[in-house]
Structure formats: structure tokens, C-alpha cells
Structure 1
């Protein structure tokens, strides 16, 4: 499931460090040791999972265990905007005209569960089928206008941006916990291959067949080539997505999938608790520094 599978929040670091660009009014994050490249523990045991007897009625009330250790899209956007605000003086110092990108708004700050397992909202499916709803702020990408700069200036902007990231992080990994994001991704894959979820897939598939659709799993329905390469959903796609949701509810597929997914996450959290606690501290330091920078910029 290309866009809903891992729900990972990827932040790309830009350029090489450029020293000497910090302005006197810029906050400096507390020094924090950078984490080594995280490696997930190899746990062979299959965790038990408390699967609900009935399909959940409000997915927004469900939270995956790892969500307390990774940043939300809204928090990542906040960090990104603060980084550009901090980089502005450095960029201007080098005589480069590059406007500070506007803050992205309307990004999610709540549970990721409603989007993680494919279409789940009948009203959204009636509009978008398997397509994603329009992104907040259209398709605005903060670095769209970088391509208009000469190569040397673009490199300097990247360097100023990296310097600003470093001042926010104090040397820690920028953005969300790397090991938290790995756990988030791996648990989805492990759950989809779990016998309990596979049995739910089989029940869902039979339900879909009775409705006139042939798919082995909702992942196959989501990745149907017929939906690819179009900007909007056609009637066939919408009808399929609506049947998909109805069968998920009838078979309690999401309730099962979520419970097993959460169980695998909890297993990995227990194995990596100290690393996750360390990363969560670093995340909070970054957010504090970012909010201070954004407050000063106002």
C-alpha cells in the first residue's frame, strides 16, 4: 500500500554544514548526542493481540503505541518551517534572494490509524476512491523555487539550511525518531503477514467477491493498476473503495489488523525503550527550539 503502508514521516537533511551563520537572536538547541544508526531487534516470537469482537466505530480514537515516539505531520512541518526561518539570515548574509517558504497548515496532528489500512471513511471514498485527498496548501513544496537559483547559490542555501537544522537539533537526528519510524514501518509489514490478519484478509476477500470484486487483500485493491496514472477517482474506483470499506466493517478487518499491528509495535518498543526515550527527548528539544524561533520571527 504505497502511501498508507508505513505512515512514515521522512525528513530529508539538506546540504553540508556551513559554519558562522548563526545570528545573535537565534536560539540554540541544547547539545544532544547524535544517535548511532538504529538497528531493530530480531524478535521471532509472535505477540498476542487483543482483537476486538466488533469493528471499531471511530478509528480516530485509536492510537498506535509508536505514535507517542514519532512526530506528527504537523510537528514535522513546524520543524521544517522553523529551519527555514533560522536559515534566512545566513542566506541573506551571502547576498542571495530566497524568500522564506510559508508554513504549511492543516496537516494532521491526530491518530494515523484512519489512513493506515487503506480507505476507511465512506464519505472520503465517495469523493476520492483510493486517491489521497488534496494536500493542504495544494502541492506547495517549500523548495520549489530553489531550481531557479544558480548552482553555487543553491549549494549555499542548502548549507545554510543544514546549519539551521544543526542549531535546532544540537547534533541529534533532525525530525522524527529513526528507530520509531522503523518500528512503525516494520509492524505494518509484520502484521500484514500475520496469520490472524491473513485470515481477516480471506474473509474480506470473500465479502468482496460476493459484491462482484476479486482481490486477495485490501492491499491489492489499493494497488490496482486501474487507479494509477489518474488525478481523480472514476466511478468504478469509487464503487470499489466503498465496497472495500463495507467489507472491512463486516469482517472487522481493521479491528484485527490494528490489534496485531499494535502488538508488534509494543513488542519492539519494549526491546528499544531506552533508544525511543532518548529520541523522544531530542524531538521535544527540537520542537521547543523551533517554537522559540517561530515566536521570535513573529
Structure 2
């Protein structure tokens, strides 16, 4: 299984700011070693419109856009404090469903037309271009080299000294980029890791992949693919196994494989089984981490309120 790609859209450079250890939903011992009951399994193929139990605790795409915008405004204000005009580049939305591709290729029409081509007819968002800055501007934006532990809240950051000043003003540890991030995502000590909900979802996805019921469905899909000469056991990212690369994702050979991929997922009901099992693991994680999850939701609501005050 290739690494699971986090679905959350993240503001340009923000991921590098998260240096704390992520909260874990729990180990795989005890009750977590048992496979959860799942009930009736629906027949499913497309993953684009699926919803999950954790969705209510995570920011929507629109909410993430608002948080990104708020973070950018805080960073801009911080840079202005040091005499620099700067706008943090934003990563445009791809316009696709956040769940599309969660179980690999599941859109029959797109498979028949585009094969494994990324974005499937939607132009990829342009890469943001960061404004050029002087050495002093770079110092304000990114902060000086700092040997101590990085502050994990704005409260902690404001109490520490980076050892550098510009125009008589103290440069924050991690610079204005980190100040903008911490003001939106961790203004006070003791905040739940901003990746906590995402990590719970990733944990459920991983456990579901290893679940015997999903493993059996993946094998059924793989056996179905083999009937047409395609040797792969990776339903999410089979391109490498199929001998495809960026230049051949939309080739006739790729389209033929993609159509078989779709047919085999439908025959094995891979999406229906995986989705049902993953949902069960999410629910169990939620029960075991209810207090932290409720705190994460409360903090998300506070972030959104703050972002609303910074809108403009």
C-alpha cells in the first residue's frame, strides 16, 4: 500500500510549521485489535459524494479557504509591522471533491475518457509564486535560526525571544509565517493538535485497509484485474504496477486498464466494503477519543469566529 495522501487542503508552507507530535487515536492492542461490526454493506462505486462520521469535526473546503485567508491576513499584518508589503501566496482549490480518489479511480466516465490522468480534464491549479524579499524581509518572514524548541502556541511564542530585532521590534521565532499560523491554529497553550481529526481519519483508513473484509475485497479486485493481464494489488495507486508514467496516464493502454479497474471495483464492491469498514473504524476512534474530539471541534469553531473578524 502506498502512503495515504491527506485530503486536507493546506495553506502554502503551513505544513512545515507543524512540528509537534500528532495526537494518536490509540494503539492497536486490546479492543482495537478486534474488527468492528459493520452491518449491511451498500453497493457503491463512486467515492466523490461519500460522507464520513468525522466530517462534522473537520473544516469544510470553504472553511479551510476562510482559515487560509485569515492566516494570510495575519502574516501580512505582521510583515507590515516590520515595514514590508507582503501577501502570502495561496494554493487555489482544484475544484474536485475531497473524497475523489480516496479509493483510487472510481469515476467510470472519467476512466473511459482520461484513464489515470490526474485532474481528469480539470486544469491543475497554478503554483503560487512567493514575492521576492530582501534579506531583512526574509528574516521577518521566516525568522532567524533558532536552536531552542519551537513554540507551539502564540502565547508561548510571545513569551520567548528569538534574539533578533528589525527596526527595534522583536522578530518572532519562526517569523511572521509562524506567527500567522499560531494565531489562527494555536493561540493558547494546550490546544489539540490541528491534525488530530485528520490523523483519526488516516488511522481509520489504514486499519480498514488491513481489515480482513477489505483485504478480501482487494484480493477479489486484484484477481479480477489479473483476468485481463493486469498484475497489481494496489487499488488506490496501481499506475506504477501497470507500467504507466506521467506521459502515458491518458494513453489507450491506460484507458483500457482504467476501465477494467472500474469494472473490477464494481464487481468486488470494493468501495462499498471499504467505505463501510472505514466508517466503522472512524466511529470506534470517535468513541475512544470523544473528549479530545469535542475540544478539537470547539477550537475549530473558535478559529472560524476569529477568521470572520479578520475577513476583508
- What SS does structure 2 have at the residue aligned with 1:291? helix
Following the alignment from structure 1 to structure 2, what is the Cα–Cα distance between the partners of residues 172 and 126?
51
- Residue equivalent to 1:124: 110
Please list, as runs of the form range in 1=range in 2, the aligned pairs for 1:137-176 lying within 5 A after superposition: 138-141=125-128, 144-146=129-131, 148-158=132-142, 159-169=175-185, 170-171=187-188
User: What's the offset of the Cα at 1:173?
Assistant: 8.6
Q: In 2 relative to 1, CA 216–231 (structure 1 residues): closer, same or farther, beyond 3 Å? A: closer
Note the alpha carbon deviations across 1:39-91, whole angstroms, 9 max, x for none.
Answer: 32222221111242x52266444312122222234432321222112222321
Q: Give ranges in structure 1 of 5+ residues lacking alignment.
A: 17-34
Query: TM-score of the superposition, structure 1-length normalised?
Result: 0.77
- Residue equivalent to 1:47: 36
Following the alignment from structure 2 to structure 1, what is the Cα–Cα distance between the partners of residues 113 and 69?
31
RMSD: 3.3
Q: In 2 relative to 1, CA 250–14 (structure 1 residues): closer, same or farther, beyond 3 Å? A: closer
Give yes or no for contact 2:192–2:295 (8 Å, CA) kept in 1: no
User: Following superposition, which runs of at least 4 residues in structure 1 exceed 6 angstroms of deviation?
Assistant: 134-137, 172-176
Give yes or no for contact 1:227–1:237 (8 Å, CA) kept in 2: yes
Give yes or no for contact 2:75–2:180 (8 Å, CA) kept in 1: yes
Matched, 1:258 2:244: no
Q: In 2 relative to 1, CA 45–131 (structure 1 residues): closer, same or farther, beyond 3 Å? A: same
Query: TM-score of the superposition, structure 2-length normalised?
Result: 0.73
Following the alignment from structure 1 to structure 2, what is the Cα–Cα distance between the partners of residues 2 and 64?
22
Note the alpha carbon deviations across 1:251-287, whole angstroms, 9 max, x for none.
Answer: 2110001111111111111100110110111112112
Note the alpha carbon deviations across 1:205-238, whole angstroms, 9 max, x for none.
Answer: 2222223322234146244373334485322222
Give yes or no for contact 2:248–2:254 (8 Å, CA) kept in 1: no
Between Structure 1 and Structure 2, how many residues are aligned? Answer: 271
Equivalent residue in structure 2 for 1:67, among 40, 55, 64: 55
Matched, 1:203 2:220: yes
Q: Give ranges in structure 2 of 5+ residues lacking alignment.
A: 143-174
Equivalent residue in structure 2 for 1:248, among 265, 268, 272: 265
